[in-house]
Amino acid sequence: MDVSRNSVSMEQWSSIIDERMLDDEPVLNLQRDGEGTYDAVFIGGGAAGRFGAAYLRALGGRPLVIDRWPFLGGSCPHQACVPHHLFSESAALLDRERLLDGKLWFGLGERKVSILDVVEVFRHGRVAAHAFMNWQTKAQLEVEYVLNAPARVLPPGSTPGSDGARHTVEAAGRAFSAKNVVLGIGARQNPLDAPGADLPGIFDFATLVEELDYEPRRAVIIGGSKVAVEYGSFFQAAGCATTILTRSPLLATQSLHHVDADLRRYVVEGMRKRGVEIVEGSSLLEIKGGDRVERVIASGPDGEMLEFECDFVFNGTGESPNSELPRQWLGVDTGPRGEILVDKRMRTSVECVYAVGDIIGPPMEMFKARKCGMTAARNIMGEAFEFDFSEYPDFFHTTYDVTWVGLSEEEARAQSNDIVVIQMPPKGMADGEIPLPCSEGTMLYAFLRPEFSGFQKCVVDGRSRRILGFHHVGYGAKDAFQYLDYLLRRPEGLTIDEMGQMNELFLNPEHFIQLCRLRAGRRELVDL
């Protein structure tokens, strides 16, 4: 179907997408019927491709986006980040119900809450986000696209055409001529590698959303990724007893950068207090079952054999880039984990071929995907723009938002012998000895269960007075870390003195500004 000349409303987009999910009829939104040469064809309309195309269009270029799904936005609003956030919000609410049960109006008790119902809320509602992406990209961003159609890049010609075209991309039975190709077709869940890995009842973040059709009551999670922690926290909060089997210590610095040891302790102990069973140093050996999984066999930290009854297995072992087809099409170089190798301008080893988003490897985060897309667009349009994502603010969910940026205390102490730490609860105080930190989202905890009201730490270099890292467990601070990241990464950084002069919005979820103010007057900084 061709919507190129129509104005399509949100409601119409919802219907179109629902229909196209059931067939393979392409959706065309093209100028000049797709004739002429595009500055770039973006293969994959997820976060990286969509933002890249929008940016290229904003710069005055002509982009085309092609996606196999009938909507733009990619896996994020369909199977990945958006449902994850819905589940994590549910986890936070259910966690409060459990921890405050019997107090005030809280009365959920030990009642199991349906995971399937929450999944179905997502399934039924996700088309609205899809419709918005299609609507915005056409109506507001004026980007051409072909949806519900797989793409294929033809082998590159040896010389550019008279109009600068170097590549031809086929989709929906048409050939599109492009000066540049931008690869952004993401990553996929790593399969489990053990006997029984194909039994019914084994899910990952994508198949959970697509295929779950029963109510899990006893879950085993394989892997220690962010996804494992996030989904495991949700399952447990819903009342589905959950075990996490992980090779490495959970949330350790092997897999995540800059995780502070105190933050990690608060988070992991918090999960255990809520009933999540965490078995570190374990390896999956086998999954057993009949019509559905029934038990997981693993080796324990001392090599002992462990067995876990379950009716649900969740694969949280991480993802690998979808680089096979691009390698076939174009011969782009890839790295040891299958990631397409790019420079800081997102250029691959093949001329006029860029790669963006999860396909270039970790961190598989939204900011990186979108900014990769922007970076490719700027370079294609003639600007030598580099994107370095070696440092960035990071987060995950348990039943809390856990957020950090900059150095952990240990990393800071390895660099300097004059490190000052400002934290809540103060060092030496037990969780719950004071009802701090607290703010929106932890007020009831502060008054009724103070040991659950969160944790925070600010790491300062005593000599330069510059702040090296911020760390937070709670609610409502995540947004702030975007700007703290910007401030820390400025050449001049951010000092405790500048922090102490900012205008806090009491009761700010992270109490960093006012705590810094309490120390900033001192010439010789000390802990707080």
485 touching a second copy, by CB under 8 A: yes
Q: Which of residues 405-444 bind a second copy (CB under 8 A)?
A: 426, 429, 433-436, 439-441, 443-444
Closest CA to 245 of 215, 274, 286, 188: 286
For position 518 contacting a second copy by CB under 8 A, the verdict is yes
DSSP letter at 222 equals E
Binder among 20, 96, 226, 347 for a second copy (CB under 8 A): 96
Task: Return the DSSP state at 59.
Answer: T
- Cα dihedral value 172, 174, 177, 183, nearest 10: 20
Among 68, 132, 292, 306, binds a second copy (CB under 8 A): 132
With CB under 8 A as the contact rule, the residue among 90, 134, 180, 495 that binds a second copy is 90
Radius of gyration of the chain (CA): 25
Contact flag: residue 386 with a second copy (CB under 8 A):
no
- Catalytic residue (choose from 78, 84, 130, 471): 130
**Token pair for residue 97?**
């119900």
Question: 10 Å Cβ neighbour count for 273?
Answer: 12
CB of 121 to a second copy, least distance (A): 5
Q: How far is the CB of 344 from a second copy (least distance, A)?
A: 14
130 tagged catalytic: yes
Q: Locate all alpha helices (DSSP H) within 60-181, ordered by sequence.
A: 75-78, 81-99, 115-135
Contact between 267 and a second copy by CB under 8 A: the answer reads: no
CB of 90 to a second copy, least distance (A): 7
Decide: is 204 part of the binding site for a second copy (CB under 8 A): no
Which residues, 57 to 86, sit near a second copy by CB under 8 A?
57-60, 76, 81-82, 85-86
- Give the Cα separation of 230 and 181 in Å (integer): 35
- Using the rule CB under 8 A, is 374 a contact of a second copy? yes
Find all residues with CB under 8 Å of 3, minimum gap 6, and list them: 16, 27, 28, 29, 138
Residues 490 to 509 in contact with a second copy, rule: CB under 8 A: 498, 500-509
Q: One-letter amino acid identity for 75?
A: S
Using CB under 8 A as the binding rule, the residues of this chain from 351 to 370 that contact a second copy are 365-367, 370
Which of residues 9 and 416 has its CB atom nearest to a second copy in the complex? 9
Q: Does 449 contact a second copy by CB under 8 A?
A: no
**125 binds a second copy, rule: CB under 8 A:** yes
Interface size with a second copy, residues (CB under 8 A): 106
Cα separation, 497 vs 444, in Å, equals 32
Q: Is the peptide bond before 507 cis (omega within 30 degrees of 0)?
A: yes
Q: Which of 5, 102, 140, 302: binder of a second copy (CB under 8 A)?
A: 140
B/e letters for 297-321, b = 16+ CB within 10 Å, e = fewer, are bbeeeeeeebebebbbbbbbbbbbb
- Judged by CB under 8 A, does residue 116 bind a second copy? no
Residue 394 vs residues 170, 406, 488: alpha-carbon distances, Å: 38, 9, 14
Could you tell me whether strands 467-474 and 401-406 are parallel, antiparallel, or unpaired per DSSP bridges? antiparallel
Query: Cβ atoms within 10 A of the Cβ of 288, count?
Result: 14
Spot the catalytic one: 56, 72, 372, 515: 72
Residue linked to tokens 């196999």:
68
Judged by CB under 8 A, the stretch of 37-45, 65-73, 208-216, 447-455 that binds a second copy is 447-455
Q: Identify any residues that bridge with 404 across adjacent strands, giving them in sequence order.
A: 394, 471
51 lies in the site for a second copy, by CB under 8 A: yes
Q: According to CB under 8 A, which one of 480, 495, 496, 516 is a site residue for a second copy? A: 480
**Cβ–Cβ under 8 Å, residues 146 and 3:** no
Residue 528 interacting with a second copy (CB under 8 A) = yes
Active site residue 81: yes
Q: Which of 6, 36, 93, 211 binds a second copy (CB under 8 A)?
A: 93
Instruction: List the catalytic residue out of 59, 81, 306, 507.
Output: 81
Closest distance of CB 422 from a second copy, Å:
10
Is position 510 an interface residue for a second copy (rule: CB under 8 A)? Answer: yes
* For a second copy, the closer CB: 151 or 237: 237
492 Cβ contact list (under 8 Å, min separation 6): none
Q: Which residues carry out catalysis?
A: 72, 76, 81, 130, 506
